[in-house]
Structure 1
Amino acid sequence: MAEGTFRVVVVGAGAAGTLVSARLLDSAALTGRGVSIELVDPAPRSGPGLAYATSDPRHLLNVPAGRMSALPGDTDGFVRWLSHREGRRVDPGEYVPRGTYGTYLADALRHAVEAAGGVATLHRRYARVVAVEQPTGIGRVRLRLDNGELLDADAAVLALGNLAPSGGWVPEGLRRSPCFVADPWRPGALDGVPADRDVLLVGTGLTMCDVSRTLNTPGRTVHAVSRSGLVPLPHTTTPVRTPAFHPGPAPDPPDLARLRREVLHRAARYRRQYGDWRPAIDELRPHVAELWQRLSFADRERFLTGMLREWEVSRHRLAPATSRALTESLRSGLLTVRAAEVVAAQPGEEAGEEGGSVTVGLSDGCSLTVGAVVNCTGPEGRTGELTDPLARCLLDSGVAVAGPHGLGFDTTADGRLVPAPGRTPAPVWTLGQLRRGNLWETTAIPEIRVQAAELADRILAHAPAPLLV
């Protein structure tokens, strides 16, 4: 490594890690700062991660192609790439398979590596980071890999993506059952689901909608349950023209009840005037982080415990084709959705055999005998429930602390980890899901791509200036 090279380790090669690596390469090439990037992840491919690695063409992006560019300022980037790949003009309003987007992210990283030339380099390591340490007095960071290797770096970025779903709800009789699928997005997770038995999906959000499409087959009923029983609402099939108006922050003092009333009133007015309520939700998006931070702690807790699902089904919507398929499955009886929680589980007599079953008791008094129970509750956000070894190491060592409301990690405004009291901050930054406690709206590509660009500039501000020739 050349003298004066600034070394950055990016942990995670999914969407967030790919985007931040590409922006680090871009920024280094633009400023002439020598940078070496180590992209560390055991996954065989860079780009897709778990979110965009699905090979099922029925799993569609829940955002139209025109809003999925890898660069914040290049609104047509993904559409141009897709049009060239498919040999046709792709409409920005199309909803495309998620696996295709994973290929796009991998391609974007490859182009960034090529454009960086010799100024910045990227080395891919196929391993898992299990610990982050802060050697005394050197202002750097040390990462320990599962193969025993140590990486010393000037800065590290945690791009861990969506962490595995919580299993806190799982009864003991189910936890060790071969019928339980803890994470449906793990490669091959659904391969062992018996083809001739009913299935129970726990959770009724976006994950359930995709998994139910994969598992829907004639002769099988897919049951889905959640506390609310609510499923995501669909995107509109036709563009809605509304005024170019975005509301400012909530009036002082910010108040959750007043904010909710304002949004509901605006949604009703937009529906009357323009035929659609959705823009009233969408136009809040640039302001969500500020609104979240200005609400009182008590109001944020009230939102998390009482209004969260109402917001989620309206904000994180389904592609129209996915919504139509869901409606047809419900109409035909291939899918049922109910408001209930799992309270008990009893393995069948043939539990140890291939094609076994489990009888699940629900809070509404019903019981279901199924061949598989699939955890579709979505990524874990509560810090206290995190089981990821690296996340636990960071918390136990004091390099990181829990974020507000126990969501993710606490970070500064630029995404740097806030350490435990009395500890010097480590040169470690994060983006995406782990910043949810501070920003709330931080898990989708439109937010992550902005965070990636800002984080790259911030980190490279610490790199040595290029030598003048």
Structure 2
Amino acid sequence: MAETTFSTVAVVGAGAAGTLTAARLLDAAALARLPLEVQLIDPAPATGQGAAYSTTDPRHLLNVAAGKLSARPDRPDDFTSWLSEKLGRRVGPGEFVARHLYGHYLSDHLARAVESSAFGRFRRRHERVVDLVVDDGPRLVFASGGSLRAQSVVLALGQPRSGGGWLPHPVSSPRIIPDPWHPAALDAVPPESDVLLVGTGLTMTDVALTLARPGRVVHAVSRHALVPERHARQPPPTVPPPPYGECAGLPALRRMVLHHAAVCRRLHGDWRPAVDGLRPWTSALWQRLSPDDRRRFLAEDLRCWEVHRHRMPPPTADALATARTDGRVSITSGRVTQATPTPGGVHIGLADGRSLHVGAVVNCTGGSRSVHDSPDPFIRALLSSGTARPGPQGLGLDTAPDGRLVPLDGHLPAPLWALGALRLGNLWETTAIPEIRVQAADIAASLLPVAAAHTGPPMRSPEFDL
């Protein structure tokens, strides 16, 4: 009897996107009765957490209600059912629960997919990918010196790490914290000192709640000092936008969105149904804009859109409002022009002439959208080899509609796919679970023909490598 030949798919990144992709690949292999090996590669010790869900602070809540976060859109109560069993109580679809729970859910979801897959095998590798060689097929090179050859590769790298542009000049000090989600990063904050947070988005809200305490002021600055709006406690149904086919350019799109929000406020007393109703069309609207209009949107409209689109859970909004009223958190407009380490912390100069002395400075600007200044050696290797090219406006990597990487002109496409934040330039609406879970399923379907071309006779019994 001929020996079964497995096709290997390497999924780089074990956060939400990678975990969901691995699960959908195993499901697809089972349906197609295809011997498929899925290798999930990430140096992190945990699976399913990534930066988003690695926090252990129970005050850090998901900014989407639990009922919208099922790993499978065809099973909308999967997450709430899991939560109810885990917490020993019924969890309603409108609840905002602790973020770390979602990481555990994703890990368990993948474990269930592995257990139920009769035609696949799974391996979790704790390695950091630093390069890719394309000769007889993709070969991933690890920081440890090892390598892995696969028939296809999926990049699920999450939001690119922020570069050094959040401060006006490079500063070397243990009191300068570039990544608040790095394990134990906030331990470097002296317990009795004030703190400066650069950025006033969702990352700021979480870090501020962790650090705020009596006797300390958590200062937060950004160019506009805009903070995310709050979710409604009882959200009304979404309202689809009017036909947008006649929106020719950014000015017309602005008018349409503002008019839609005004109508929703008049009819429902709330603008949120208008913003939420735009979500299924956001990628199409983004793709209709010219490159110049996209640049204008990023320069002029981005922050306003973000604070209305990516909102705070009501308990988080309440806690932040209380901390601001008590004087434990101060949010103002400002731009850091100077950061000088001192024996007791960091001296900060702001563009308006103010100065602060704080025990630590924390980057809360979020991940970088541009790949041009990415510190990730794997991303740099893909770009320098021509295997990949930056996405529109330098956002993420350029991809075809099915998620396959588009190489630099003159280079042949490699069997590489991407999902999530790496598709920002092409899709814009691509970083949240409702989009990522669809992309994961689509990529799994796209990879089956590639995998089938490299497999031998089907397996007779399941085989797993956990």
| TM class, shorter-length | over 0.9
Report 1:99-118 matches (<5 A): 99-117=100-118
Of 198, 212, 215, the match for 2:211: 215
Fraction of identical pairs, as percent:
53
**Residue matched to 1:273:** 267
**Residue matched to 1:451:** 439
**Residue matched to 1:171:** 168
- 2:228 maps to a residue whose letter is P
| Contact 1:201-1:223 at 8 Å conserved across structures | yes
1:284 is paired with a residue whose SS is helix
**Residue matched to 2:37:** 36
| Contact 2:139-2:149 at 8 Å conserved across structures | yes
**Residue matched to 1:353:** none
Alignment partners' CA distance in 1, 2:16 and 2:356: 37
Flag the 1:347–1:417 CA change in 2: closer, same or farther, 3 A: same
- 1:99 maps to a residue whose letter is H
CA RMSD of aligned residues (A): 1.6
1:237 is paired with a residue whose SS is coil
Alignment partners' CA distance in 1, 2:394 and 2:370: 5
- Does 2:416 match 1:422? no
Alignment partners' CA distance in 2, 1:106 and 1:34: 23
**Residue matched to 2:69:** 68
**Number of aligned residues:** 456
Range that drifts further, 80-89 or 445-454: 80-89
Range that drifts further, 212-221 or 455-464: 455-464
Alignment partners' CA distance in 1, 2:398 and 2:3: 35
TM-score by length of 1: 0.95
Of 309, 313, 324, the match for 1:330: 324
**Residue matched to 2:391:** 403
| Contact 1:249-1:290 at 8 Å conserved across structures | no
Flag the 1:436–1:147 CA change in 2: closer, same or farther, 3 A: same
- 1:113 maps to a residue whose letter is V
**Residue matched to 1:247:** 241
Alignment partners' CA distance in 2, 1:275 and 1:325: 24
| Contact 1:4-1:464 at 8 Å conserved across structures | no
Alignment partners' CA distance in 2, 1:147 and 1:196: 40
Alignment partners' CA distance in 1, 2:443 and 2:186: 36
| Contact 1:22-1:112 at 8 Å conserved across structures | yes
Alignment partners' CA distance in 2, 1:381 and 1:276: 30
- Does 2:376 match 1:382? no
Range that drifts further, 246-255 or 329-338: 246-255
How many angstroms does 1:2 deviate by?
5.5
1:462 is paired with a residue whose SS is helix
Alignment partners' CA distance in 2, 1:234 and 1:253: 29
Alignment partners' CA distance in 2, 1:394 and 1:387: 13
Runs of 4+ displaced beyond 4 Å: 465-469
Flag the 1:248–1:458 CA change in 2: closer, same or farther, 3 A: farther
**Residue matched to 2:224:** 228
- Does 2:365 match 1:364? no
- 2:109 maps to a residue whose letter is A
**Residue matched to 2:26:** 25
**Residue matched to 1:131:** 131
**Residue matched to 1:340:** 334
- 2:305 maps to a residue whose letter is W
- 1:190 maps to a residue whose letter is L
- Does 2:121 match 1:121? yes
Of 187, 190, 215, the match for 2:186: 190
Output one character per residue of 1:399-445: Cα deviation in whole Å (capped at 9) or x when no partner: 11011001110110111111111111111111011100000111111
Output one character per residue of 1:240-270: Cα deviation in whole Å (capped at 9) or x when no partner: 146xx52366223532112122211221221
How many angstroms does 1:287 deviate by?
0.7
- Does 2:151 match 1:161? no
- 1:127 maps to a residue whose letter is E
Alignment partners' CA distance in 1, 2:419 and 2:78: 22
* Structure with more contact order per residue of length (Cα contacts < 8 Å, sep ≥ 6): 2
Flag the 1:68–1:396 CA change in 2: closer, same or farther, 3 A: same
- 2:411 maps to a residue whose letter is R
TM-score by length of 2: 0.95
In structure 1, runs of 5+ residues without a counterpart are 351-355
- 2:195 maps to a residue whose letter is V
Alignment partners' CA distance in 2, 1:171 and 1:254: 38
Alignment partners' CA distance in 2, 1:217 and 1:298: 45
Alignment partners' CA distance in 1, 2:205 and 2:259: 29
Alignment partners' CA distance in 1, 2:260 and 2:161: 36
In structure 2, runs of 5+ residues without a counterpart are 461-466
